[in-house]
Amino acid sequence: MTISYTLKVANARFGGFSKLLFRWKGSIYKLLYKEFLVFVALYSLLSVTYRLMLSEDQKRHFEEVALYCNKYTDLIPISFLLGFYVNLIISRWWGQYTNIPLPDQLMCVVSSNVHGADEKGRLLRRTLIRFANLSSVLILRSVSTRVLKRFPTMEHIVEAGFMTHEELKKFESLSSDYNKYWIPCVWFTNMIAQARRDGRVRDDVALKLLMDELNKYRAKCSMLFHYDWISVPLVYTQVVTIAVYSFFAFCLIGRQFLDPSRKHAGHSLDMYVPLFTLLQFFSYFGWLKVAEQIINPFGEDDDDFETNRLIDRNLQVSLLSVDDMYQNLPPMEKDKYWD
């Protein structure tokens, strides 16, 4: 489920964002707690080992290694890497959202340019807009795990009413090794061309308008496919991941509290709990988790796009507007400010 929270912080008040911290759903805590527990467990294990199980000599060695680790962890440039990487992921994430095809423009155009209040006219408008919806379902099925779960086979799409059996047969008779989401779009264009011949689309300009809107709709489907096919270069993701993971692996050792009696610089205090390291873990790992969560916004994370809800909304709304609302206008009345 998408987490919309901006309404809660509509006004910048005292405390502001702090009220966003006490949530579980979609929160950093939920995303990060497992990694956090593992980190804490490993840290404790090492801590206990150092304090209780090592001989004095081993302790001296451990201390040297710890000092060495602490000193050099800073060499790993994770702020820069994460800053630029997350920036990239965020801009792709928004790009993906804005390319989810919505039939709103198309349905306005179909509703007002494909004429005929008779059954054939209704059927034509409904079929056209159904084709558009079908195309988006086909593409979303290939990019979104949620939608694939809902429609594991083409049969499920037919059952859900996006396609008739005849259409499925025709669809499958066209063999291609590649994603066939574009087929309903071609049907759409051929069907409006035929509707133009039958006079149900009244003029060439309207035909062009329908064609233009269909093309915009199809372009969005296409972009979704490409965002899915062309991931951020794997190498980039790996570099960032290795940097963050290894940083904290070394923190396990380097941030141990060493025996204050040994007078190591910066180790005059034994607090047992490495508060700052944990905080740093939250900041950097949390930042990485932002990327993990949205690198594929079509998954099943709390904050991923609700594609199934969108599919339902689109079908409902688009059938409503091309059928029930066709030439079904409220009576014109003088408005309040008339004269």
For residue 339, the Cα-to-chain-centroid distance in whole angstroms is 51
155 binds its own copies (CB under 8 A): no
DSSP H/E element including 200? none
How many angstroms separate the CA atoms of 271 and 256, rounded?
10
Q: Does 44 bind its own copies (CB under 8 A)?
A: no
Rounded to 5 degrees, what are φ and ψ at 114? Answer: -105, 110
Helices 28-48, 275-294: inter-axial angle, 10-degree rounding: 140
Site string for its own copies, 298-327 (x = CB under 8 A): xxxx-xxx-------x-xxx-xxx--xxxx
Among 1, 117, 239, 273, binds its own copies (CB under 8 A): 239
Asked if residue 293 binds its own copies (CB under 8 A), the reply is yes
- Dig out the tokens for 154 from the structure: 């083409």
Residue type, 151: F
Q: Contact between 282 and its own copies (CB under 8 A)?
A: yes
User: Looking at 147, 243, 258, 311, which residue binds its own copies (CB under 8 A)?
Assistant: 243
DSSP collapsed to 3 states, 84-127 = HHHHHHHHHHHHHHHCCCCCHHHHHHHHHHECCCCHHHHHHHHH
What count of Cα atoms within 13 Å lies in the side-chain half-sphere of residue 336?
A: 0
Q: Tell me the number of residues near its own copies by CB under 8 A.
A: 176
Choose one: 45-53, 149-157, 188-196; the region binding its own copies (CB under 8 A).
Answer: 188-196
Q: The tokens of 261 are what?
A: 């009696």
Piece in contact with its own copies (CB under 8 A), picked from 39-47, 50-58, 149-157, 214-222: 214-222
Based on the shown chain and the rule CB under 8 A, indicate whether residue 252 belongs to the binding site for its own copies: no
| Residue 57 beta carbon to its own copies: minimum distance, rounded to whole angstroms | 14
Q: Does 58 bind its own copies (CB under 8 A)?
A: no
Q: How many Cβ atoms are within 10 Å of 100's Cβ, its own excluded?
A: 22
| Candidate list 40, 207, 259, 308; residue touching its own copies; CB under 8 A | 207
- Residues in 96-135 at the binding interface with its own copies, rule: CB under 8 A: 97-98, 102, 104-105, 107-109, 111-113, 115, 123-124, 126-127, 130
